[in-house]
Each structure stands twice: as structure tokens, then as C-alpha cells.
Structure 1
Amino acid sequence: MDSALDTIATGLDASQTMMNTIADNLANVNTTGYKTEMPEFQTLIYQTGIQPGGQSTGQTVYPSGLELGTGVQVAGIKDVETQGALTTTNNPTDLAINGYGYFQILQPDGQIAYTRDGSFQPNQNGQLVNADGYQVIPNITIPANATSVTIGLDGTVSVVTPGSNVSTQIGQLQLANFINPQGLQPLGNNLYANTTASGNPIVGAPQTNGLGSINQNMLESSNVDVVDSMVDMISAERAYQLGTQAASAVDSQLSELAQAASGA
């Protein structure tokens, strides 16, 4: 009976993790570039009483085994790397990636982080930065007197200055991609760090080597599906309720056994 309660407890923990993940997804439904999180579950080690295929006699074997599961564990939480919808903002320094890749951001400690959030703007020096003031890599500096800024699908950045009708290219944005984006470590603030699991960044110009294109005047919306999240929430809630009911049933059986033992 004690083992049954332990098994039920693992299921309750798993259901709570699922609920926590859904809550995080719903909280970030309006977060630019956010990717839906999905927990992965694994069975815990089995207690083997009879090995399948073991000898039942000298000439016969067991066609099936006697193996009792001990519950479930959370193996990991991965991001669902599907494309979010592109929404128009009409801000010339708002950029959305359509396809694979991440923008590169220089952090204050000198490390490079990666993001799908292209909510950029020029700082006091004209350098393109994110909402926290962290510089976009490669550095793009927009002249203070620029009358228009054009960023192409391939990441080329051009400006028009007063007295000229001809645009001048001032820089080239690059994107980074990873063999295993699931292995990136979330840092908060819509930033990720590469890890041994993700592999080293593969940097290149947009629209080359499988990298996506850059769409100006747009941002990538979260890919959270609210309807699917609500369905998953109901499922997780039902699983938790069933777990508590099973725990209550086991507790009742334990009480009856204790009373029977004391009566004996």
C-alpha cells in the first residue's frame, strides 16, 4: 500500500508540472517570439517479479512477465519550435524571422545570447538594441539624420539621408542557428544561451544555409495555441483529481487494514 501511495505521488507531481507549464504558456501568450513549452514524461524503473521469457519449468518459459511500475517522472521540458504568426507593427526597426534562426544579442558580460524577439530600436548612439538596451550583433548604427531605414529579407540594412534619393547600405544583419535548438538554455528576457546540447551557433546571412528571412515592420507572435492549452489544462486537472481520489482510496484501505490488525 505504501508503494501505491508513492506511485500516486509521482503522478500528482507530474500533473502539477504539466499545469505549471500550461500556466507559463498562457502567461506568455502575448510575448514576442515565445515558444510553447511541452513537458516530456518517462516511466520510473519497474519492479520485476517474473522476467518475461524466464524459465517456468525446464521445458517452458513465461509468455509474459510480472513487472510492476513505480510511477512517472518528468524527463524534460522542451520548446515547440513552430513558427509564430507575423504581425505588422509599422515600426521600421521591428524585425521578425520567418523560418529558422535567432538574432544575436551582446550581453553586458560580453557573452552572446540569442532571441527570436526582434523588438529593436536605436539607442542614443544610433546602435540597434533590444528592449533592455543590449546591442544587436553585428553592430548596426543608424545615422541620426536618416530619413528612412530599409531592412531587406536578406538582412541588408540601408538608409536614406537628407539631400539624397539614393539609399546607402550601412550594414548586414546575421542570424544564428543550432543543430539542436531544444538544447538552448532559457535566460529570461526572451534570451537563450547555447549549451553543449544545442551545439555551437552556425552564423550566416538570412536566406542562406537554411536560415530564415527577416521581415521588417513585423514581429513574431507567440506560437501558444490558447484552445489547445485549455484542453491540456482540463486533462491535467482531471488527472490530478483522479490521483487524489486514488490516494484517498488507498488511505481508506490502509485504515481498514490497521483496524483489522488491531482487532486481531
Structure 2
Amino acid sequence: MFRALSTAALGMSAQQRSVDNIANNLANVGTTGFKRSTIAFQDLFYENIASSKLGNAGNQNSSGPSLQIGHGSRAVATIRNFMQGSVAETGNALDLAVSGAGFFQVELPDGNIGYTRDGNFSRDATGMLVNNSGLPLASQIEIPTDAVAIEVSQNGTVTALMAGDNTQVELGQIELAKFSNPGGLEALGDNLFAETESSGMPFFGEPGSEGFGVVRQGYLEQSNVDIVTEMVRLIEAQRAYETNSKMVQTAEDMMSVTNSIKR
């Protein structure tokens, strides 16, 4: 009964982690480029209470199934789903979406590279193309002050139409990165991810090249969170939490009956 108490308590804790994760998914249903995640669970170690001996035709004992009792479950990992989100038209020339595989690269304050699917870019005071957090693209694309129009081709080439002479000037090339295991990326917040040993080293390439998606100007990738799916998962987690809490109450009732036995 003491084991039942601790096992049920661990089950409640595991389901609480699941609810926390679902809440984060739902909170980011409107976040550009957000990728939903799920919690992975593992059962804990098992205790061998007893082993059985089964007789065979030769009246010799052989080992049979043993009596094992588990000790509950625990949350062990966050699994992120990088399925493509829907692409919505914005009409903003500096809004970019990757249709297919690949991440935009931005330079972090410490000099490292962050990876993102959020293509909501803008021009800062110095003319650099930056994201919403003010982090510049790793390609270091600078937009001239006298540019009257910006065009980004599907292969990531950025050009500007200059005022006065109506000439097209190439400003730079957007390069994408992809990973053999994007699920191993570390979420940094601000729609950014960082490379880890689990994700592997990044592969770089121009948009539209083999294995990479294309860049669509004037569009943004939406969150891939499905509200209906998250609500179903929330109900399942809630029911599991309630069941584990009833198990705690049942174990306490059994202990109370045992303590009340009179000799």
C-alpha cells in the first residue's frame, strides 16, 4: 500500500508535466513558426517480489514468470514536432516563410548561431535585416536607405530596387540550415533553437536546392498546434491525473482499515 501511494503520486506528477506542456502548446497557438511538443514517459524500475517454479513433464522444476511490481512512471523528454505549419499571406515584403525543410539563421549576442522558422523580419536603424528580437540574419543583409522595393526570390536571393535609376541591386543570399535530427534541437525561447549533440551538425544550402525548402516572400508560417488535438490530450491527462488521485485515496483507505483491525 505504501508502494501504491508513491506510485500514484509519481503518476500525478507525470500527468502534471503533460498538462504543463499542453498549456505551453495552446499558449503558442498564434506564435509564428512555433512547433508543438509532446512529453515522453518511461516506466520506472521493477522490484522482483517472488519467482515461481513450474513443474514440467519430467517432474523437473523450471523457472516460470516472476512476480514484479513497478514503481510508476516519469517524464523523461520533450519531443518536438517539426511538421510544416500553414502559410499565411501578410503582404509585407520582409515577411518570409520556408516552404519545406530548413531554418533561417540568426546571429545571437554571444556570436553563436540560432535557428528559427520565424521569418518575421524587419529593417533596423542601421539598415540590417533583423528578426523581432533585433538579431541579424547570419547572411548580414543590409538594406540601403534609398531602396524603394525589396524582392526575395524563392532561392533566397535578396535584391533592392533603388530610387531614381530603377536598377536592381543584389544585397545578398539567404542560406538555410537543416539537421539530420531536428527533434534534438534545444529550444531557446524567442522562436529560436540551438544545435546540440543530439541534433547533429547543421547542413547548409540555398533555398530550393536538393533537400531544402523554398523561401516565399510576403508570407509567414503559422504555428502547427492543432487546438482540437491539444484539447483531447488535455482531457486524457486530466482523467489520468484524477484516476491517480483516486488511487492515492484508495491506498489511504486501505491503510486506515488495516490500522483499525483489532486483535
TM-score > 0.5 by shorter chain: yes
Q: Return the alpha-carbon distance in structure 2 between the equivalents of residues 127 and 27 of structure 1.
A: 31
1:252 and 2:253 are equivalent in the alignment: yes
1:187 paired residue number: 188
The match for 1:64 is: 65
Shift of 1:165: 3.8
* CA apart distance, 1:63: 4.8
Is 1:137 matched with 2:129? Answer: no
Instruction: State how far apart, in whole Å, the 2-side matches of 1:213 and 1:67 are.
Output: 54
Cα distance in 2 for partners of 1:132, 1:75 equals 31
Matched residue, 1:160: 161
1:44-78 deviations in Å (ceiling 9; x for gaps): 11112356xx7535734355332222111112011
Question: C-alpha displacement at 1:212, in angstroms?
Answer: 1.1
Counterpart CA distance in 1 for 2:211 and 2:186 is 22
**Deviation of the 1:139 alpha carbon:** 0.8
How many Å separate the matches in 1 of 2:75 and 2:199? 20
Aligned to 2:213: 212
CA deviations on 1:110-169 (whole Å, 9 max, x unpaired) are 111111111100111211001111111111111111111110111011111123344232
Aligned to 1:26: 26
1:5 corresponds to: 5
Alignment map for 1:69-108 (pairs within 5 Å) = 69-108=70-109
Paired with 1:60 and 1:101, the residues of 2 have a C-alpha distance of 61
Q: TM-score, normalised by structure 2?
A: 0.94
Query: What is the CA deviation profile of residues 6-44 of structure 1, one whole-angstrom value per residue up to 9, with x for unaligned ones?
Result: 110111011101100010000000011110010011111
Within 2, Cα distance between the matches of 1:63 and 1:151? 69
Partner of 1:46: 46
TM-score with structure 1 length normalisation?
Answer: 0.94
**SS of corresponding position for 1:42:** strand
Identical amino acids, percent of aligned pairs: 38
Q: Which residue identity does 1:30 align to in structure 2?
A: G
Residue 198 of structure 2: aligned partner = 197
Inter-partner Cα distance in structure 2 for 1:107 and 1:65: 55
Mapped partners of 2:62, 2:72: distance in 1 = 28
Distance 1:87 1:60 in 2: 70
Runs of 4 or more, structure 1, over 6 Å off, are none
* RMSD over equivalenced CA pairs, Å: 1.5
Give the letter aligned to residue 26 of structure 1: L
Contact conserved, 2:53 with 2:64, CA < 8 A, in 1?
A: no
| Unaligned segments of structure 1, at least 5 residues | none
Asked if structure 1 preserves the Cα contact closer than 8 Å seen for 2:4 and 2:247, the reply is no
Which stretches in structure 2 are left out of the alignment for 5+ residues? none
- Letter in structure 1 aligned against 2:252: D
How many pairs were matched up? 260
